[in-house]
Chains A and B, each alone.
Chain A
Amino acid sequence: MQSAVKVNGLSKSFGANNRALKEISFKISSGEMVALIGASGSGKSTLLRLISGLIRSDQLAETEISIFGKVIQKKGKISADARALRSRIGVVFQKFNLVNRLSVLTNVLIGNLGSMPRWKGNLGLFSKAQKRAAMHALERVGMVRQAMQRGSTLSGGQQQRAAIARSLVQGAELLIADEPIASLDPSSARKVMDILSDLNQRDGITVMVSLHQVEYALNYCPRTIALRDGEIVYDGPSQALTQDFLGELYGAESEELFLPGLSSKSDKPVKAATNGVAHPQLSA
């Protein structure tokens, strides 16, 4: 199977003494849904921003990130095709990154900019078909009624769903979600994760999602990559991540990775993971 993401010897430092990532390598196949977990400061966001080509890595000889077999950055230099590649990558941010003063529909239409003639984009000339596709994307995330509202009038969960609709319109083949549910209440969080999982299952979009809480990784993602202090400490099936194992990996920090109220019962997360009714991909 073609690899969607291939990361080789990736390091990133901020200043002389702050190494956020230390020579990380991994591969994600097309169609996978992978969780990236770790305490705050472990390098999750940095890794995702590097993969989407928004920041540059350290200039080491072996450093290379490729998306669908094409290099997006190499040895700390963003490749010339980065713009074209970015249009195949949908990025969903913790803070949603919508333009508040534009309507939800316009925010979603922005997803078309990478793949239409530039002058048309500059003048805001979106075609009927593009508008219809945007409305379908909004329908998919349950936001049709809010299409003409300004971004600023939406709740956090709605803004995040609009941001996902933008990635859908973009025709993203890889969806990178950086803590998409960290600023959301539990029910909105579940809705957003359901949508991501649905996109993965039905449309075959590769999803890479960083999460703060292990429960969501267990529930939604068959595979988990765990980071600690800029290094991969675990890469494998999510089911193996029992609380004891996480305690081993993270020590005292593991407390941070569980939802309050569930952390006292170590069997809860595992039970949730084997619950095959809601998420059949985990029982397979």
Chain B
Amino acid sequence: MSEIAQDIKIPVTPMRERLVSWASVLIVAGLLVWSWGPVEMYRWVSLFTDASNMGEFASGFLKPNFLDWDIYVADMIVTIQIAVWGTFLAVIVGIPFAILSSNNICPVWVVQPVRRVMDACRAINEIVFALLFVVAVGLGPFAGVMALFVHNLGVVAKLFSESVEAIDPQPVEGIRATGASKLHEIIYGVIPQVVPHWISFGLYRFETNVRSATVLGIVGGGGIGQLLWENIRSFAYSETAAIMIIIIASITLIDLLSQKLRKWAI
């Protein structure tokens, strides 16, 4: 026994690896410390010292007021309708951009510029686009649709092009060998392979867009966000609670439905 114990050497984690793991911990800790002051994290005590305020605030939510439920539901429906059009436009316009930003279809001098434009669409939040479109096309749901459309165009192009880049090239070659054109190759060889993924991504974006559309109203982009914002600002917590419950119920329903549809698509 003792002979074996002396013979065999226990492997030690190399110094380099240990240094790397310590360094990562230090970096994360450093980031947290660096951000502490600027975001006023020192005010955490007020969560306890002002607990009575919080209690009062919360109790307002305990008695949701559904007196105007029909208005809330009507606005929620508009919110969903904003998401329907925003998603539809993003998908339809996003498809050609997705093809143009796929490395296995287009040359690099097309792919790179198109991708950068799509990056820009994606980088800016829907709310910011909504603010811009409110100025351009006026207050209302149409500004919201446009905001969702532009932001999601970038998202859809990226997601769709990733599935295009993952296709099996052999069927496409089979079509090329019949003397078909490049566009034929895409229509008959590429798109049938990616359609199930596209449907799934499209539905997922729709879910996300309904969530985003609920706040577009805050900046005048239509939908239930406007009511929500007005009620919060006038301290009408019972009404706010009712609106939030309607939002939660609708979004849960849409998520469940779209999950079912996505499973069926693939």
Contacts and interface: CB of A to CB of B under 8 A. Distances in A.
Interface stretch (B166-174, B211-219, B225-233): B166-174
A99 B177 contact: no
B177 A113 contact: no
A86 B192 contact: no
Contacts of B179: 83-89, 113-115, 170
B192 A118 contact: no
Interface in A49-96: 52, 54, 83-91, 93, 95-96
A54 B184 contact: no
A54 B177 contact: yes
Interface residues of B, number: 20
A102 interface: yes
A113 B170 contact: no
B69 interface: no
B180 interface: yes
Contacts of A83: 179, 181
Tell me whether chain B's interface is mostly helix, strand or loop, or mixed: helix
Interface residues of A, number: 34
Contacts of B174: 91, 93, 96-99, 163, 166
Given A97-B173, A98-B171, A111 B188 contact: no
B178 A113 contact: yes
A99 B171 contact: yes
B175 A110 contact: yes
Contacts, number: 85
B171 A121 contact: no
B82 to A, nearest CB: 32
B195 interface: yes
Contact of B188 (A86, A88, A113): A113
A187 interface: no
Interface string B191-205: 011011000000000
Contacts of A88: 179
A99 B192 contact: yes
B171 A122 contact: no
B171 A114 contact: no
Given A99-B189, A99-B193, A122-B183, A113 B175 contact: yes
Nearest to B175: A110
B176 interface: yes
A115 B178 CA distance: 9
Contact of B176 (A54, A111, A121, A166): A54
B187 interface: yes
24 contacts: A83-B181, A86-B176, A87-B178, A89-B177, A90-B178, A91-B174, A93-B173, A95-B170, A96-B174, A99-B192, A100-B193, A101-B192, A101-B193, A101-B196, A102-B188, A110-B175, A113-B175, A113-B181, A114-B178, A114-B179, A118-B184, A122-B187, A163-B174, A170-B178
